[in-house]
Amino acid sequence: MVKSYSIILFFLLLGACSPLDEETKKQERNKQNAEAYIDTIWNKKELKNLKDYFSSTFIRTVNNIDVANDYAELNANLNVLFKSFPDLHMYIENILATKNKVFLHWSITGTNTGEFNDRPRTGKKIEISGITSIDFDEEGMMVYENSYFNELFLMQQLGYKLIIPKDNELESNINQN
């Protein structure tokens, strides 16, 4: 009798742990997919593998601007960066998985040896950091990637300066609008 109660108790405990284990497994899978995406796409620049990580309905935003809504746009967007900074490398500083999301704190290094945003190459090295949140579907595919970084800091490292307009230029611009 005691043996049958032990077996029943074992199966009840196993059933009670299963949802948590399934959630943990999904979080770990999503975390591994995010790490593989960074390594394969960002560091190895194997853009032919985009479909291994992104669902067909994904959206990618950078600093709250939609930059890609399909594989062709994503390929073009990343190619601009990789041609501008051929030695670009992304490092994951911290990673956190929760429910269907993965949060990354990352840093990027690279040297500007190609044209960037219609500006000539500068030959300057950059190092920036940022954060990315990635939403995954039930199959572990990325459906939404939202990245933020300080664009002004990037441009300053390339040698560009933010020039504050003189008071009369500012007034003139305000009066024209």
- Those residues whose C-beta lies under 8 Å from the C-beta of residue 156, and which sit 6 or more positions away, are 162
| CA 76 – CA 80 distance, rounded (Å) | 6
| 67: in domain | yes
Distance CA 126, CA 85 (A): 9
**Is 61 inside a domain boundary?**
yes
Residue 2 lies in a domain: no
- Give the pair of three-digit tokens for residue 112: 């500007």
CA distances from 42 to 4, 120, 170 (A): 55, 23, 41
**Residue for token pair 């219609």:** 118
In a domain, 31, yes or no: yes
pTM of the model: 0.80
CA atoms of 117 and 63, how far apart (whole Å)? 16
Summarised one tens digit per residue, pLDDT across range 50-91 is 999 999 999 999 999 999 999 999 999 999 999 999 999 999
Q: How confident is the model at residue 172 (pLDDT cuts 50, 70, 90)?
A: low
Domain residue limits at 85: 24-164
Q: Is residue 19 part of a domain?
A: no
The answer to whether 73 and 58 are in contact (CB under 8 A) is: no
Residue pair 132/106 in contact (Cβ under 8 Å)? The answer is yes
Answer yes or no: are the C-beta atoms of 147 and 131 closer than 8 Å. Answer: yes
Structural domains counted in the chain: 1
- Residue 8, pLDDT > 80, answer no
Whichever domain contains 51, its CATH number is: 3.10.450.50
Cβ(66)–Cβ(87) below 8 Å: no
- Bridging pattern class, strands 89-98 and 101-111: antiparallel
> pLDDT value at position 165?
79
How many Å is the maximal CA-CA distance in the chain? 93
In whole angstroms, how large is the CA radius of gyration of the chain? 23
Q: Is the pLDDT of residue 49 over 70?
A: yes
Cα end-to-end distance, the chain, whole Å: 86
177 domain-assigned: no
Query: Within a domain: residue 111?
Result: yes
Q: Is residue 170 part of a domain?
A: no
